[in-house]
């Protein structure tokens, strides 16, 4: 427990020293977002509640906290929020369809010991739970890409007020392409880092490559990585188009008023 307290204190001090007031808000937002996730998980245990609807509500609250509470309300955060919500809705519908078609539901033999303590009549839709897990795992990366592109496009328009909508959109896409590779790899290693012990377990049990690839746990993990990558790819053109439309329209209104 003392180690956790020290780590929390070190993180808090570093965020205050480096980020100032915004760092303090970022630190506090970690605990607020944790509370949102905890409440969402608690509500999902009730079979009457839809995991998909709960996930959408949770993502909306997390996006609001991460954008408006930390960075305050501005044109950049508003466009990033709109882009994030459009992407989340599209990705959520796509993932629900994919998880249903892939037939990756229930538990694999690797989870035999863990599920022995649970009631098998709980009534929860694990297909929708899988979709929720993927969305929750990617929301941070999606928000990061959205605010990065929105901020960059606002700066481009500020330094080049006469830029056309097409060139502004192209600039946003160019920025997004640079982010795409690094963020996709970040998600890849984050997912597989969490399952490193599982890969070691596969090796100790002398699983063949075919058995590993066809195992339910491994296939689900790969699906999460691919869906997360799709989410990162989707947010780039959506954010670029939303910002290009908003910024050029705002500029035209300003010119008409003057």
Q: What is the pLDDT of residues 43-102, one digit of tens each?
A: 887 778 888 888 889 989 999 988 888 888 888 899 999 999 999 989 888 887 877 676
With beta carbons less than 8 A apart as the criterion, state whether 186 and 215 touch: no
Residue in the structure block whose two tokens are 């078609």: 101
For residue 134, the Cα-to-chain-centroid distance in whole angstroms is: 8
Note the pLDDT of residue 123.
Answer: 61
Alpha-helical (H) ranges within 45-125 are 51-64, 70-71, 75-101, 112-115
First to last CA, the chain: 62
At 118-141, the pLDDT tens digits run: 555 456 666 677 777 778 878 888
pTM, entire model: 0.80
Is residue 175 pLDDT above 80, yes or no?
yes
Count CA within 13 A, CB hemisphere, residue 67: 31
Q: SS3 for 23?
A: helix
- List, in order of start, the domains of the chain with CATH numbers: 50-106+123-257 (1.20.1640)
Task: Tell me what percent of the residues of the chain surpass a pLDDT of 90.
Answer: 11
C-alpha to C-alpha distances, 55 to 37, 62, 127, 147, nearest whole angstrom: 9, 10, 13, 21
The answer to whether the Cα torsion of 212, 91, 151, 172 is positive or negative is positive
Nearby residues of 215 by Cβ (< 8 Å), 6 or more positions away: 108, 110, 202, 207
Is residue 197 pLDDT above 80, yes or no?
no
Q: Round the average pLDDT of the chain to a whole number and report it.
A: 80
Q: What phi and psi values does residue 204 have, to the nearest 5 degrees?
A: -65, -30
Q: What phi and psi values does residue 49 have, to the nearest 5 degrees?
A: -90, 140
DSSP per residue, 5-36 = HHHHHHHHHHHHHHHHHHHHHHHHHHHHHHHH
Angle between helix 75-101 and 126-159 (nearest 10):
150
């Amino acid at each position: 427990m003392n180690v956790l307290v020290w780590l929390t204190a070190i993180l808090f001090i570093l965020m205050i020293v480096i980020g100032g007031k915004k760092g303090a808000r970022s630190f506090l937002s970690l605990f607020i977002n944790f509370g949102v996730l905890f409440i969402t998980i608690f509500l999902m245990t009730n079979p009457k509640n839809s995991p998909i609807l709960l996930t959408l509500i949770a993502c909306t609250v997390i996006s609001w906290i991460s954008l408006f509470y930390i960075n305050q309300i501005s044109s950049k955060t508003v466009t990033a929020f709109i882009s994030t919500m459009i992407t989340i809705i599209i990705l959520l519908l796509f993932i629900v369809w994919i998880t249903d078609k892939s037939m990756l539901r229930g538990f694999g033999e690797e989870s035999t010991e863990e599920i022995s303590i649970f009631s098998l009549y709980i009534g929860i839709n694990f297909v929708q739970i899988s979709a929720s897990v993927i969305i929750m795992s990617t929301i941070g990366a999606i928000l990061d890409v959205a605010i990065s592109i929105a901020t960059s496009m606002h700066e481009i328009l500020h330094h080049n007020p006469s830029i056309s909508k097409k060139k502004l959109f192209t600039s946003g896409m160019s920025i997004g392409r640079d982010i795409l590779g690094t963020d996709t790899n970040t998600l890849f290693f984050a997912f597989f880092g969490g399952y490193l012990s599982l890969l070691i377990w596969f090796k100790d049990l002398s699983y063949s490559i075919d058995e590993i690839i066809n195992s339910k746990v491994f296939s689900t993990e790969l699906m999460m990585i691919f869906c997360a990558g799709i989410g990162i790819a989707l947010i780039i053109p959506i954010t670029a188009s939303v910002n290009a439309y908003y910024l050029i329209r705002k500029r035209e209104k300003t010119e008409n008023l003057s």
